[in-house]
Amino acid sequence: MREFRYERADDPAAAVALLAAEPSGAFLGGGTNLVDLMKLGVATPDVLVDVRTLTSAEVTDLPDGGLRIGAAVPNADLAADRRVRERFPVLAQALLAGASGQLRNRATTGGNLLQRTRCTYFTDVTRPCNKREPGSGCGALEGVHRNHAILGQTLDGPGACIATHPSDMAVALVALDAVVQVLGPEGERAVPIAELHRLPGDDPSRDTTLRHGELISAIELPPLPFAARSRYRKARDRASFAFALVSVAAAVDVADGVVRDVRLALGGVAHRPWRATTAEEALRGRPATEESFAAAADAELAAATPLRDNGFKVPLARNLVVRTLLEVAR
């Protein structure tokens, strides 16, 4: 068995200082992803710094009508929060579409955002994987890749990676333009969530733009009145306890049959939650009809480069976008 240290700090700044001094260390939230990866030998931190009781476990109102979600808020509590259910139903639905009741009770907001890909080559240390072991290759490219990405992949070279990001919650937060509050060795900074997760580029080992030692302290949701009519839809192989093949988070503002504004993000299709900006652009000012929704989905998916076994994700994403937009625009 591999030994590691478990540390607790008195406050968030002390936790950041502890981790910054340990090149091979990690924060511990609910542990529902990190501890699994440690058991598999995929994650091998020398020290765990427990932050579950250090950051806020409260959801609070912001003066502008938005919400501040502490990084330690359990996923179950966030999904049940009355303000989230009324003002941002897409977020509550995304949370309830993920994991199980027991896991949602334990999992934290910060940890959910930073959970790692479920690519089976990544979690099997006997297989090649550029994300786990840079330069070893990508087993999924020529192997089993039915669940893998169709957008934004790196398809060759030492950076090859076609993994998808697993968090349902993150897809809803991207659609809602959330802002991630971070505390690091150099102080605080605010990261728009669209800039938190990365495409593989030439270094798939980095999932996010966070630096070592940076702690997520909270997520802020700006006000978005039309998000009261938002929706999360998830297509998966089993009705529960399964990650998304494709998912859609959508909110639409329709007046007199015309799309005034729209927020659209996709999950299960890329290395990061995919904000569908091309589709959004195609929709603003257009009639709120099935034809417009289908044209917008096609415009977004024109960039897709499906592989041997995951071409089905293109029509699946198209149909899911159209159905979800029809539902929220009704």
Ligand X SMILES: Cc1cc2nc3c(=O)[nH]c(=O)nc-3n(C[C@H](O)[C@H](O)[C@H](O)COP(=O)(O)OP(=O)(O)OC[C@H]3O[C@@H](n4cnc5c(N)ncnc54)[C@H](O)[C@@H]3O)c2cc1C
Q: Which residues bind ligand SF4 (CB under 6 A)?
A: 117, 119, 121-122, 129-131, 138-140, 161-163, 204
Q: Token match 């580029």: residue?
A: 201
Label residues 158-183 b or e (16+ Cβ within 10 Å = b).
ebbbbbbbbbbbbbbbbbbbbbbbbb
Q: Is 229 exposed, middle or buried (0-12, 13-18, 19+ CB in 10 A)?
A: middle
Nearer to ligand SF4 by Cβ, of 108 and 147: the residue is 147
Binding site partner of 246, from ligand SF4, ligand X, none, Cβ cut-off 5-8 A by kind: none
Closer to ligand X by Cβ: residue 215 or 227: 215
Residues 81-120 that bind ligand X (CB under 6 A): 98-99, 103, 107-108, 110-112, 114-115
Q: Rank residues 163 and 169 by Cβ distance to ligand SF4 and give the closer one.
A: 163
- Cβ proximity to ligand SF4: between 93 and 130 the closer is 130
Q: Residue 37 phi/psi, 5° resolution?
A: -65, -30
With 0-12 / 13-18 / 19 or more C-beta atoms within 10 angstroms meaning exposed / middle / buried, residue 215 is buried
* Residue 292 identity (one-letter amino acid): S
Cβ contacts of residue 60 below 8 Å, gap of 6+?
67, 68, 70
Among 93, 117, 147, 167, binds ligand X (CB under 6 A): 167
Closer residue to ligand SF4 in complex, CB, 87/116: 116
Nearest CA to 175 out of 261, 107, 239 is that of 261
CB of 139 to ligand SF4, least distance (A): 5
Query: Closest residue (Cβ) to ligand X?
Result: 111
What span, in angstroms and rounded, lies between the C-alpha atoms of 211 and 215?
A: 9
* Partner from ligand X, ligand SF4, none binding residue 121, C-beta < 5-8 Å depending on class: ligand SF4
Closest distance to ligand X from the beta carbon of 322 (Å): 23
**Token digits of residue 136:** 């070893």
Answer with the entry of ligand X, ligand SF4, none that 110 interacts with (C-beta below 5 to 8 A by kind): ligand X
Q: By CB under 6 A, name the binding residues for ligand X.
A: 26-34, 51, 55, 71, 75, 98-99, 103, 107-108, 110-112, 114-115, 166-169, 215-216, 241, 243
